[in-house]
Amino acid sequence: MHFHAPGMAMSRALILFALALVFAVSPLSVAPTMAQGTPAEAAATLRFVHGSPGAPDVDVLLDGLPILEGLPFGTVTEYVTLSPGEHRLQIVSEDQPPAAALVDETLDVAPGAAYILALYGRLNAIEGEIFPLDLSEIEPGEARVRLINLATDTGDIDLLETGGDEWFGDIGLGEASDYRSLPQGTYTADLRGGNDRVLQTLSGLSFQDTRVYNLIALGQIYDDTLTMKALVTRVTPPCARVLEIAGSGGDACLRFVHASPDAPPVDVYLNDAIISQNLGFGTATTYVAVPSGEGRDVRVVATGSPVEGAVIDTPLDFEPGQAYEMLIAGTGEDLDLTVTGTDLRPVPEGQARLRVIHASPDLGGVDIGLPPVETLFEGINFGEATNYVVIDAGTYPIEIRPTGEDLMVALRTDASIEEGMSYDLVVLGRPANRSLRFLALRAPLAIRTGDIATIDVVTDGAAMSETVVPRTIETEVTPTPVGTGPGRIATPEVVTDDAAVTIENEASLTPTG
């Protein structure tokens, strides 16, 4: 997107908790702010680069109001949040009114997008450019890099590894190269101008994996202000890093949930290594990092039974850096393993990510509503998981309704949503015996501000992942002990006070009208 100046040539430890959903029950308080209206679309984020060496300090206005002020040449701001939709964006000299804008444009801001707004050119030829970022998933071990040219007197520029291949070529003023993937590591690179003249040699140019790098050339040759700035945005860090658990960037991360109301406590194995012991209905493990790869056998047995007697025995492929949630669901001996991926990408400030997983075997299809707002999810059947939605932090009323029945409510509660969290709301239990409830699992996410827009052989019988048991008010949390000796995988610390209260409740269908 390009525009001209008017009149001128132009990762905390994982926390698990359970919420019992009942009429008029006080929720576990997480955020003090009440949410307003419907769950929001994902906010967008924007950072600004002042690359015009002759221009005065500037302010950036959004819909006539300042969002960034007093920015001199060479400034690179952190991200600020923008709501999706059409906005008027103006750049003015410091303290000047909107009518004196150097740049004045209407922008259609996409939900969840990230942008760099750049001002460049000499004072008599100021121009502006918006560069959208590619925030799609990045393979572990890789960085996404591009070159942006805001330098006023270099002509077209190239960037190449010193003594090696050219990365980007013939990038004109106000232009950006395409993105390319580079292996993580530290490089020496040459910034080259016309006639293959080396303008600068950049030593110690470091690229970390799962990050987007915008390398911006700005300044001028003649006054020796030419410089290169590296703007970094985190996209999808490896799950072990986000969840702050022991593991490498190539590991996958697994969490198991016992969601079968008829099944006894179980032990969970990966190949022949035990992951969790004595996992009971309505409880979940913390995440544990395991080697990624193909054909990893997940086996589930009744607690204390030999692994050869597994009631679930299925080979699965795990992608490097990906987090997975695995539900042991079904009835009686007819158990299934429901596998879903957990979205750990950063969210904008003030927002969280939420989905619902249906694991109540005889509830039938359900809708999830946030009264008085329209239905958030509809037509969720047993064994299904919704897509994630981005939601503003705050407190919401949540209802489970039979599909298509706006006036019938199976469960209702207020739920508090904290920013920077991913929430999986698992529907558990049976309506007939009034055990229907939510198990709400959360995982920490990065906030997209600043630079933010995957078994070893176990030699003894202890489990690699602790179990967090939802508790009644008077009982204590009793996690499974975890060892850390030789040949073991280090695990997160034992969760104690972050396991929430479970309260027995009625769960009959109740008309709301």
DSSP letter (8 states) at residue 309: G
pLDDT value at residue 483: 27
pLDDT value at residue 407: 63
Distance CA 507, CA 513 (A): 17
Tell which residue, 445, 394, 386, has the closest CA to residue 421.
445
Over the range 327-361, which residues count as b (16 or more CB within 10 Å of their CB) and which as e? bbbbeeeebbbbebebbbbbbbbbbbbbbbbbbbb
pLDDT in tens, 66-98: 999 999 999 999 888 888 899 999 999 999 999
- Residue with the bigger pLDDT between 171 and 495: it is 171
Cα dihedral across residues 147, 148, 150, 154: positive or negative: positive
DSSP letter string over 449-488?
A: STT----PPP-SS-BSS-EE--B-TTPPP-PPPB---TT-
Domain boundaries, the chain: 2-10+44-234
Distance CA 238, CA 323 (A): 8
Q: What percent of the chain has pLDDT over 90?
A: 45
* Choice among 102-106, 241-245, 402-406 with the minimum mean pLDDT: 402-406
- Asked if 105 contacts 89 with a C-beta cutoff of 8 angstroms, the reply is yes
pLDDT in tens, 39-66: 556 788 899 999 999 899 999 999 999 9
For 240, the enclosing helix (H) or strand (E) is: helix 239-243
Asked whether residue 32 carries a pLDDT value surpassing 60, the answer given is: no
* Choice among 71-75, 152-156, 373-377 with the minimum mean pLDDT: 373-377
Show Cβ contacts of residue 499 under 8 Å, excluding neighbours closer than 6 positions. Answer: 16, 17, 18, 468, 469, 470, 471, 477
CB-hemisphere CA count at 13 Å for 394?
Answer: 16
Tell which residue, 26, 28, 500, has the closest CA to residue 284.
500
- Residue with the bigger pLDDT between 419 and 504: it is 419
Per-residue pLDDT band at 452 (split at 50, 70, 90): low
pLDDT in tens, 185-222: 999 999 999 888 999 999 989 998 878 999 999 999 98
Distance CA 367, CA 438 (A): 14
Asked whether residue 513 carries a pLDDT value surpassing 60, the answer given is: no
Q: What is the pTM of this model?
A: 0.60
Distance CA 369, CA 306 (A): 43
Distance CA 462, CA 6 (A): 70
pLDDT value at residue 5: 42
pLDDT value at residue 286: 92
The C-alpha angle with vertex 158 and arms to 154 and 162, in degrees rounded to 5, equals 120
What is the mean pLDDT of the segment spanning 281-297? 92
Question: Among the residues of 141-200, which ranges form H helices?
Answer: none
Q: What percent of the chain has pLDDT over 70?
A: 78
The C-alpha angle with vertex 284 and arms to 418 and 13, in degrees rounded to 5, equals 45
Per-residue pLDDT band at 414 (split at 50, 70, 90): confident
Asked whether residue 410 carries a pLDDT value surpassing 90, the answer given is: no
What is the mean pLDDT of the segment spanning 277-302? 92
pLDDT value at residue 227: 93
Distance CA 279, CA 272 (A): 17
What is the mean pLDDT of the segment spanning 171-186? 95
pLDDT in tens, 12-24: 222 232 332 222 2
Q: Report the mean per-residue pLDDT for the chain.
A: 78
**What's the distance, Cα to Cα, between the start and end of the chain in Å?**
51
Q: How far is CA 327 from the centre of its chain?
A: 21
Six-digit token string for 255: 């969490």
Beta bridge partners of 327: 257, 338
